[in-house]
A and B are shown apart, each in its own frame.
Chain A
């Protein structure tokens, strides 16, 4: 923030130092392109959705504004929002099909879109004027005053700063955290009840709207726009700037844009080799410096910066949770020809701890994935607090208060520990997108409340001292505790833990046991999938034993662990007959 204000202040004084119109033109263009790159960084850097067609969105914005102002005599102040609306709509149409698809589809769809647009700019001649383009785009006016030269530069600069500010607010908010989950660990996002499809569309519409605004400015600045202005090179240029500056770094777009524009001489001399330089630059950066200049700077300066002392954020008292009853009735799941769970039923009364045990491959984790909606159920019913959740989808089930942890912890390495926990409270926030984008009082108050809440759950699991460390630096055993805190912050009525004790030391195991008891004391229903029978015996009120997808035994831990069938499944039938034989002898 401080940096951006300083740079903007210097940039605002720049026109007084620059001689000649050409320098002012280049400086104006820098801030036009900066605006576009800021949006691309949110989408590609933070959200991980690579757009290879951003130049085409700029083209749509430029043409909407230019046609509006030239052919329909609209004022700039109407043409600008129209351009943003137009590109936003184009963005939504493009992102809609990728709702449920893998990320790389999106990249190719943006590429295809760019080709289609560059064809249509020529083909739709009655509207776009074909090869000759739109000529004579007027400068913005207020009354009799015309924004030209320096005044237009300052207007562009102001809008670029505004774009930075709003984007910055979004990135620091729950939306920014959710975007990084989408990029680094989508399952963590789904488990927190975040609708990733909607998030993708939102990010793309936002970044398209910024590209549209950039396009409108571009049209005004150039006064003439032709299809030639929007070749594939432009899209590649935007991508290169954001990769060079640093993907997913707040100041990446600024650094990238400055680096590019401070070397204008180089680019004019080597114009012929431009694409070769772009290609080589993109390749080398992605392989050797995927975090760009900003990432490298962070690496150098980070070493000298003292580690932040643990935050002294206020801590709020933990609320009691209302446990929900879980009833699984005759549930079946097959993968191809393999039956993973067969006609399984179990009952977990509200507010109790239930354990699911069984050898590897017995269907424990599959059962957990069925309850949480990560796998669709082939047959049977699953009732949470009396409501059938079958077919509702993982996101909706998580929103309904069913939270889980994963066998291998799924954290967002680029976020701090506390931000990872806050991800779990995504659905609890009520401040609207606009309030968050403008950082209005309600959004700020709510953010502070969420942080305090996350802090109190971190203290609950004993990790409050590491709240501000990057989650990627945390050892495996503690990552699991962060995941538990993330699940708890969502105020679950049913909490499912997938092998929480795997790989823990004996001392950590005692801590985990005490923690799960404390969680149960909060009131939520706990289902734990676990191998560690001692842990199960000391925690669970009831146990279900699975073997190859079938129910082997159910009841209290004492009764179940004495069951010969269970012993046979766990120790192997031969071990059992061996003991009997030695008894007989």
Chain B
């Protein structure tokens, strides 16, 4: 009874966390937020399901193609909608909010036109299954949580590498890193591609547990943002923690009230948290502004 709430929270929470982490990947070097991120995740789930259903390719090949396509779209998003604005004198204000929102609208509408509103079913990769086993947990759910942990661990290892540290250096001080010969635009582009990879993986992993439908993008964008903001922008550990908390709150609300209230309850909870702790659970306040 309580166990299935917990299992549900762990499953959904890992997806929220992964979307939040993909947000962090872009935020670190660019201080921007891709509003198309939710729709990239959605497209990842639908694309993978479509390739499997229509072309009957092997599961892992379909997933590989999906990752390549989604990260390509993320690269294009940076090229078309973000880089031109960030290169304006003064950083172009917050124009990227509107331009990435527009990219998200285009993706969502195109998918809606081509695939239609019906949810797609993405099967889990063999040999895993979504059949509930002992303790009410499926083998896929176990693999999902482990997969998310592995992806985040891989990212953390990447940030210890030379390139990874350069990305963190830009986040700290853009001008100083220019003096060190670091090219912020190149690393921003790289980060968009990387976040596309994470978004695609999030979509593929979400497919078998959520229904892969057009509406998924909008809701995952908000959940991912909530996880990132509540956890502390830039802190992957905080984002994972917050992702699970939000999913747990959702599961409890759905059980105690009605599923229709879960968005409202977690939204208000995140707002309250930000009111008390603007930097989130594990974020740090950035002081050097002048």
Contact = CB atoms under 8 A, between A and B. Distances in A.
Interface of A: 48, 50, 52, 93-94, 96-101, 103-105, 107-109, 111-113, 115-116, 119-120, 122-123, 183-184, 187, 232, 236, 239, 243, 275-276, 278-283, 286-287, 290, 335, 365, 369, 374-376, 406-407, 413
Given A104-B97, A108-B33, A287-B80, A279 B103 contact: yes
From B95, B102, B260, B271, name the one whose CB has the most chain A CB atoms within 10 angstroms.
B102
B101 A282 contact: yes
Which are the 7 A-B pairs with shortest beta-carbon distances? A279-B105, A282-B102, A283-B102, A123-B260, A97-B274, A279-B106, A275-B109
Contact of A116 (B109, B110, B258, B264): B264
Given A123-B258, A369-B290, A286 B221 contact: no
Judged by DSSP, the binding face of A is helix
A276 B94 contact: no
Judged by DSSP, the binding face of B is helix
A144 B90 CA distance: 58
Nearest to A369: B290
Contact of B85 (A109, A236, A243, A287): A287
B97 A290 contact: no
B105 to A, nearest CB: 3
A183 B261 CA distance: 35
Interface residues of B, number: 47
A108 B222 contact: yes
Contact of B288 (A115, A287, A335): A335
Nearest to B27: A104
Nearest to B264: A116
A101 B102 contact: no
A94 B271 CA distance: 8
Given A116-B263, A280-B106, A184 B290 contact: no
B278 A286 contact: no
Given A96-B275, A97-B274, A101-B274, A107 B97 contact: yes
Interface in B107-139: 108-110, 113
Contact of A105 (B260, B264, B274): B274
24 contacts: A50-B98, A93-B271, A96-B271, A100-B278, A108-B35, A109-B271, A112-B263, A112-B267, A115-B222, A122-B260, A123-B258, A123-B261, A184-B90, A187-B290, A236-B101, A239-B101, A275-B108, A276-B105, A280-B102, A280-B106, A282-B105, A286-B99, A374-B290, A413-B90
B290 A406 contact: yes
A279 B109 contact: yes
Interface in B248-290: 258, 260-261, 263-264, 267, 271-272, 274-275, 278, 287-290
A279 B94 contact: no
A116 B33 CA distance: 21
A232 B33 CA distance: 20
Contacts of A278: 102, 105
B218 A232 contact: yes
A405 to B, nearest CB: 11
A236 B275 CA distance: 27
B48 interface: no
Contacts of A279: 102-106, 109
Nearest to A243: B98
Given A107-B35, A111-B35, 9 more contacts: A97-B274, A98-B274, A115-B218, A116-B264, A119-B263, A276-B105, A280-B106, A287-B81, A287-B85
B163 interface: no
Contacts of A374: 289-290
A283 B94 contact: no
A238 to B, nearest CB: 12
Contacts of B109: 275-276, 279
B93 interface: yes
A476 to B, nearest CB: 13
Nearest to A236: B105
Contacts of A283: 80-81, 99, 102-103, 106
B255 to A, nearest CB: 16
A286 B288 CA distance: 30
B271 A50 contact: no
Contacts of B289: 187, 374
A115 B272 CA distance: 18
B287 A335 contact: yes
A104 B94 contact: yes
B84 interface: yes
Nearest to B287: A375
A125 to B, nearest CB: 10
Contacts of A107: 35, 94, 97
A115 B263 contact: yes
Contacts of B222: 108, 111-112, 115
A41 to B, nearest CB: 14
Contact of A101 (B93, B226, B278): B278
Contacts of B108: 275
Contacts of A112: 222, 225-226, 263, 267
B33 to A, nearest CB: 5
B92 interface: yes
Nearest to B260: A123
Contacts of B221: 108, 111
A106 to B, nearest CB: 9
Contacts of B101: 52, 236, 239, 282
B106 A290 contact: no
B106 A276 contact: yes
Nearest to A109: B271
Contacts of A101: 274, 278
A290 B260 contact: no
Contact of B290 (A48, A286, A365): A365
Contacts of A111: 35, 221-222, 225
A99 B108 CA distance: 32
Contacts of B275: 96-97, 99
A290 B290 contact: no
A376 B287 CA distance: 9
A9 to B, nearest CB: 34
Contacts of B274: 97-98, 101, 105
A376 B33 CA distance: 28
A49 to B, nearest CB: 9
B197 interface: no
A378 to B, nearest CB: 11
Given A48-B94, A108-B33, A119 B287 contact: no
